[in-house]
Amino acid sequence: MLHFDVIIVGAGVAGLYASLNLPKELKVLILCKDQPWECNTFYAQGGIAVAKNTEDIALHIKDTLDAGAGMCDENAVKTLSEESLEVLEDLIARQTPFDKDANGNLLFTKEAAHSTSRIIHAGGDSTGRALHSHLMAQISHTLWKNATVTELLIENNHCYGVSVLTKRGNYNLYAKHIILASGGVGALFEYHTNAHTISSELHGMILENGLKLKDMEMLQFHPTVFVKTHHARKMLLSEALRGEGAKVVDYFGKRFLFDYDKKGELASRDRVARSIFDYKLKLQEKFKKQEEQEIYLDLSEFSKEFFYNRFPNIARNLSAFGYDLPKDRIPISPAFHYCMGGIETDGVGKVVGMENLYAVGECACTGVHGANRLASNSLLEGLVFSRRSARDIMGCVKSEQKTREFLLHTEPLQNPQDENLKAILRHLMWSKVGIMRNKSGLNEALGGVEVMLQSGVGRLLRLRLLTAKNIIESALKRDASIGAHYLTE
269 is catalytic: yes
Neighbours of 66 (CB within 10 A): 16
Helical packing angle, 459-477 and 418-432, nearest 10° = 10
- What is the residue-wise DSSP string for 1-36? -EEEEEEEE--SHHHHHHHHTS-TTS-EEEE-SSST
Helices (H), 321-438: 377-394, 418-432
Strand partners, 250: 295
3-state secondary structure 34-62: CCCCCCHHHHCCCCEECCCCHHHHHHHHH
Backbone torsions φ then ψ of 9, nearest 5 degrees: -100, 105
* Calpha distance 50→30 (Å, rounded): 27
**Residues near 306 by Cβ (< 8 Å), separated by ≥ 6?**
none
In the three-class reduction of DSSP (H, G, I as helix; E, B as strand; rest coil), residue 256 is classed as helix
Active-site entry in 118, 269, 388, 437: 269
Q: How far apart are CA 3 and CA 21, in angstroms?
A: 20
Residues 6 or more apart from 198 whose CB is under 8 A from it?
A: 39, 40, 182, 183, 184, 185, 186, 187
Three-class SS state of 193: coil
Which amino acid appears at position 24 of this protein?
K
Q: Would you say 337 and 221 are in contact if contact means Cβ atoms under 8 Å apart?
A: yes
Cα torsion 419, 421, 425, 431: sign: positive
Element (H, E) at 156: none
The torsion angle over the Cα atoms of residues 113, 189, 369 and 347, rounded to 10 degrees, is -160
CA–CA separation, 87 and 50 (whole Å): 9
CA–CA separation, 342 vs 181, rounded Å? Answer: 11
Q: Return d(Cα 230, Cα 88) in angstroms, integer.
A: 38
Q: Which residues are catalytic?
A: 269
